[in-house]
Structure formats: C-alpha cells, structure tokens
Chain A
Amino acid sequence: MSGRVRENMPDYKKDKKRVDGRKMDELRPLSIKVGVIPNADGSAYLEWGQNKVYAAVYGPREALPKHTQNPLKANIKVTYRMATFSVPERKQPRPNRRDMEISKVLGEALDKAVFTEQFPNTEIAVFVEVIDSNAGSRVACLTAASCAMADAGIPMKDMVAATGVGKAFGELIVDLNKDEEDAFDAVDIPFAILPNTKEIVLLQMDGLLKKSEWSEIAKLGYVACEKIYEIQKKALSEKYQLSEVSQKLIGDKSVSKSGEKDSAKIKKESKGKAKKVRK
C-alpha cells in the first residue's frame, strides 16, 4: 500500500475485517421477494444491505411510438430512478445523466439474457425504483430486474446475477458499501454475469487498478455472483411453495366456512385478478 494513509483510516491488510465487520469476500445480507406488484406482469422487491429496490416489468407489449419498433427483436426499455429520499441529500427527481446512463447499461445487460428475437415489434418495459441506497444500487437493480423478468414469464437464456467488486483500504473486496466506495484508494466495479455461460454482461470501473489485481477481482466476482444466483433461484421458486401452504389451509378446514375469507385471500394473492369487463 502507498504511504498516503491518513490517520484514523481503516487498514484492511492489518484489520482482516471490514468497517462493517464483514469478511473480504462476504456479501451484505440479500433478500428478494418476487411478485409484489399485482398490476405489473412481473415484479420483485430486493433488500441488499441498506439498498431497497422495486422492479416491475410490463410486456412484451406493442412498442409505441411506432418508429421505435424493431421488426427483428423486442426493445428492452429500462427506467432507473432514485426516490428523492433515497440518498442523504435530496435527489432532484428529474432524471439526470447518471440515471440515463444506468438505464442504458442495465437495458443492454438484460438484452443479452432475453430471447428478444421471439417478440418482434414489441417492447419490454422495466422500471426500477431505488427507495433507499448505500452503494451498489445499479447491481441491486439489475439483480431485481432479472427476477422480475423471470416472474413476468419472459423467455430468457439465463438469469443475470450482479454484484459490486473492487478495492478499498488496500484490500480486494466484494460488494462495497458507501464508506468503502469513498475510500481514498477505492475501485468500484459493477460486475454482472450470466451464471451458466459465465458471460460478462455489465462491467464498469471507477478508480485505478493493476492488471494482476483485476484477475483476482474477477475471480471474486464470479464466486459472489454464484451466491446471488442461488438467492434468485430460491426467491423465484419460493413463490410457488407459499401458495402450496395456503392451499393446504383451504383443504384442511371445511371450505364452506371459510368462503368469505378465502375469496378475499385468493383475490389478494391472485396476480391475474378478476375484472368485470362487461356486464
């Protein structure tokens, strides 16, 4: 490490522990819930450390205005937004340069995973809204968006698993938090892969890195993404185990008694909810 270390700065080489007590290759606690927005075709809510993210997917649907249609493939249109209260200083609600950039790179990453050629002239609209953030919100959004896409039943080659990797306080680490991102020697790399093929679909970098350090970091990233993939898998299949429990409840007790309650419950849970189109 360079001799520029300031006083009261953590030194990860010496401490063997990070500022929030994690190991160098440990992720912040991650939980995903799928199917949270009834009006969307697919949706997901994700909590990753302090990051809280909602993702909603609509489509495939007719791309409008018509000149945006591509007769060979579907457009994936991602809208990344941060809530005004998601950062310490109020964020201007108007989409800024950063919002647009992240929307673009997320769309390109998802595009690699989806069989877009199956849906000519359509668009798949993805909305990701950051409710609370603490570094790594774009990878949180990408992880949530890919779960929401699977929940919408969109044909995909693979899920997209993403994490932040990089360097802070002299050590190579995984999933940087805000303190680490602001370190004097910080390197922050959003890293997203398709877990089956190990294909990298998102890679950006802030900071400076040696070539040898990068190959180490990539290894860390692959391992971390595998962990995230497992969590995504669990979240998606869990949705269909929960209903199993509710069905058992209905089956055990006499159905006629719980008629009112059941229908209310069913309506609440049901994604394709009943609508009276015409009487």
Chain B
Amino acid sequence: MEDTVTLEKVDDYRWRIPRTGAMRVPGMIYADRSLLADINLDESPRQVMNVAHLPGIIKYSLAMPDMHWGYGFPIGGVAATDLETGVISPGGVGYDINCGCRLLRSNLVLDDVAPHIERLVRDLFNNIPAGVGSTGAIKLTPGEERKVLTRGAEWAVSNGYGEAGDLERTEEGGAMDGADPDAVSARAITRGREQIGTLGAGNHFLEVDLVEEIYDAAVADAFGIEAGRIAVQIHSGSRGLGYQICDDHLREMGKAVQKYKIELPDRQLASAPIRSPEGEAYFAAMACAANYAWANRQCLMHWTRETFGKTLGLSPRDLGMRLVYDVCHNIAKKEVHTVDGKKMEVCVHRKGATRAFPAGHPAVPDVYRAVGQPVLIPGDMGTNSYVLVGTDLAMQETFGSTCHGAGRVRSRTQSKKLTDSYQLLKELREKGILVMARGKKTIAEEAPEAYKDIDRVVDVVHRAGISRKVAKLRPLCVVKG
C-alpha cells in the first residue's frame, strides 16, 4: 500500500484521487484548500481510497467537506454500488443507523420565548430523556417493538405521538421498505425496548434556534421558514438497537468476506453482495433500525411540542410547530440513478452525508416537489446550522448527496483537555446560548473549537452546487445528553 495520497485539483471545490492499485474507481473529495488542510491531518483520504476497492462501486468513492476519520468508511463518505453486482457494507452506514436530524418551524418570534428561555430549556431538559444509559417513558413489548421496526414514524403517530402530516415531511415517509424484524436478533430487540424516545449522548442534541438569515426566499417560503422566527432541531438516531444490529451483522459480514472471496484493504469495510443472504439480511435489519430511529425522533418531537405549549401557555395553533423535514445522516438506500446516460438501480451508502434530491424528484414529498428536498445541516453546540435544498447537480455528481454537519477536527480527548466546561458554558451564555447537559464532560468534548467551520463547509457544497443555501439558524438553547 502506498503511503501518500495523491490529490489532483479539479476546481476550487473538487479534488480527485486517481485510481491506483486495486481501486475500482477514483476518489473525489469536495473541499476548499483550507478544509483540505484539516482533512489531510487524519487518515480519511486514505479511507476514501479504501472504499474505492468495494466490489460494484460506481463512478467515484465520494467524500463531503465535513469528512473525517471513521471506521472503514470516512465520516462524510458516499459510495454507490451496483444493486445487482455490488456489495453492501455496514461500515458504510455506521453503528448509529439513521442517526439524523429533524427541523420544526414555528410561528414564534424571539420576544415570545426570550422572557421564558431559562424555564424552556429546563423543561425541555426534564421532559426529553437524554444522557448515557437513558431510558424513555415508553417501554415496548417485543410484539409492539416489531411494529415500530416495520412502521417507523407512523407507529409513533398512530400511538398519539404527533400528527399524520408529519409523515409526508419525513424522508421515506418515516418508514423504509424492506424492513424485516426476523432479520433483527433477539439481543437487538431487547436493547431497543426501553430506549425509544431518548435523545442519547455524545453529539446528539435538541436545540432551539432563531432563523437568522434567508438566502433563497422562494424556497424558504415553501419550507415554511421565515427570518426572525423560532425553530427547533432534534438530532438523534436508533440508539442501542442500531448499535447491536451493526455489531451483529459486522460479524456475519466478516465471514461473508471469506465466503465470497472479497478482497478489501480494511476489515471494517466488511461487506457482502447485496443479492446474497447476508447482504439481504443486513439490509432488512438496517431498515428496521432506520424505522426505529424515525419513530424515536417522532416521539422526541411530540414531547418538544408539548413542552413548548405548557411552558409558554400557547395552543398548538398559536405555536405552529410544523415539521419542516427529517433527514437521515447514516443510511444505505436502494435508489435509481442515471449513470453514463442509463438509469440503474444502486445502493447508496451515506455515512455522515445527507440525501439532497432536486425539484421534481418523485421521492421529494408533494409539498416540496416544486422546489426540492430540504437538507438539514446541524452545527455543533454554539454555532450556526443551515437549511439547504437539493440540486440537479447533486444527482449528476454525488448520487444526490451532500454534507451533514461541521465534522470533527479535534478529538474528544484533545477537546476535553483544552476546554474548561464551566468557562465554555459561561462564554456561550454571554453569546446568548444556554446549554444544559447531563454529562459535564460532554460539553467540553462538543466544544465549538472541536469542529470545522460549518460556514465554510456549507459554503463549499453551495459553491460546488451539490446543494444550495436556503437559511441560516442561530442557536438560543441546547439540550444535550
């Protein structure tokens, strides 16, 4: 294996890694010079090359500007494989299957929440189960959990957590096809039983934001986003159920690699042909975890709406807290894309990447079909977040994908060493941002300096044209695990 990674400049925002050795396709990194300097600090460009070895990979092994070192795949990696001849890799999805983000708009303005902000953040903190080892208010029986795994967010809505209208504003309508609870181990079912309706820890959060700037008024209007209004973001995933499914199937994939004689440069890229029993079993189980994650975020959103209503003493109509959209950041999807002028079925792995489908695409809900799919890019604690919209160029270049966040640049341990949690909380408060977290070290780990500059990351995908800026959100208060 070569020690150096060659990067060829295509333009200011595209860097090509030429095909060498057993790479089946070249690599393509979306970044500017400054972000590239961060990227080159870790092994992620090498991981882009490793992913290019996957059987059936098409066009490019892609990486978004928020990329950083992951397992097997880099975080921020996108790879599409031929559905008939290619492989599926749990490492291309990650442990937190369908870790994702949803955004609620509201009728509220800053003056409606500012006088109550201390109470609001405390009430959200108390009503939204979060933190290490947290369990929720919902205890599922195994039979009920099987329903969650196939019905996803719709299960939550039919049990009183939210409104029917939320479903059309959720990627896949909040439930992926192909989910089969029989592909999920009893251990994973047990692990998921008490964790539905919990935020989790680490980089998961609930954040109240102010819509600070609109870049595209027509699209923002279609999304229901208006400058000066309050919005809420919820970032969480499939909790222990997803971790267990990934672990279970990585083990099986390890054996499949030998069975199907797949040669890979990294064990964490373990994979199986999509059309093999192992590949189909992983997809069926992964879809179950994805559906669980949508149900989870749906429940969290319901309690968020309830809390706003009680704390501010306002009716649902006054609040107007409508879901804008819910996107996956870690997923493998069966999609149809045009490759070399021909339509083909592919399996798109998005690991720390967001689907970014354009106007007119049949997967974009009717309410947004004329403008394109909302893309949600949460910032880290204390920095801005962005709402973008999918583009035709993303379909042509990145299998309809874009970035997912700021991307870490400093390790959690480095960050903890360099950051004093209490000082940071004070500084954030001075900037008008309240943070409540169960674990104090979490605050230091998630300090803004640990992340890349999100403004720059979003600027790259906007200028490269693989999604377009619609709105900027500024945080007011954050609840963390």
Q: Do A and B bind each other?
A: no
